[in-house]
Amino acid sequence: MSRIVVFSGGDVGPWRVLDIRAIRGEPLPEVRRLLMTEGEPSGAATWRLRGAISNARYATRSEVTTLAQLQPALARPSASQAVLIPIRKSPAWWALAQDERRAIFEETSHHTRIGLTALPAVARRLHHSRDLDERFDFLTWFEFAPEHEADFWAMTARLRATREWDYVEAEVELRLALE
């Protein structure tokens, strides 16, 4: 299994793109379908976004343990909805020290605490892109059943209102369905 995950926007892939919108910063070109592959795919695409499955940076031992207990696996048959949110943070964020970033991420913004409220309904995977010279720093991926969609967006709205998001300079939202 490759740790590099490629999201290809174009005319192929199991996910139908219901909506693409720029929340902040530049948009992504419209596409009809999305393909997620571990490793490089063959075939053409309108755009590709790459990220690496990596180690945790901020989660403490007790958070890692709680997340492991509550997080469902990807590709559950019931999870017919997905959301891809590419994000880039500002130079000011990257100029901070690790302990300062952790303090903003969790002690001030409660990212994990807020995110945990959506579990176990939402499966997630974080991909790191910054060190791959990509246009986004992170590709965040979420899967859930249609009945949990409203809760997912309510949780996302809470995250976007935190101080952590003061450091988000680009964010695009892709709403997807397996159809």
Residues that bind ligand HEM (CB under 6 A): 56-59, 67, 85, 87, 89, 111-112, 115-116, 118-119, 122, 124, 126, 138, 140, 142, 156, 159
Instruction: Supply the minimum distance, in Å, between the C-beta of residue 141 and ligand HEM.
Output: 10
Instruction: Supply the minimum distance, in Å, between the C-beta of residue 88 and ligand HEM.
Output: 9
C-beta of 34 vs 87, nearer to ligand HEM = 87
C-beta of 48 vs 58, nearer to ligand HEM = 58
Distance CA 47, CA 32 (A): 12
Instruction: Supply the minimum distance, in Å, between the C-beta of residue 25 and ligand HEM.
Output: 14
Instruction: Supply the minimum distance, in Å, between the C-beta of residue 35 and ligand HEM.
Output: 21
Distance CA 173, CA 120 (A): 22
**How many CA atoms does the CB half-sphere of 157 hold within 13 Å?**
6
CA torsion angle for 93, 99, 105, 108 (degrees, to 10)? -110
C-beta of 10 vs 172, nearer to ligand HEM = 172
Q: Which residue is nearest to ligand HEM (CB)?
A: 115
Instruction: Supply the minimum distance, in Å, between the C-beta of residue 42 and ligand HEM.
Output: 29
Number of helices and strands (H, E) in the chain? 5, 8
The answer to whether residues 34 and 15 touch, using CB atoms and an 8 Å cutoff, is: yes
C-beta of 33 vs 130, nearer to ligand HEM = 130
The answer to whether residues 132 and 52 touch, using CB atoms and an 8 Å cutoff, is: yes
Contacting residues for 15 by C-beta, under 8 A, at least 6 apart: 33, 34, 35, 36, 82, 176, 177, 178
C-beta of 67 vs 74, nearer to ligand HEM = 67
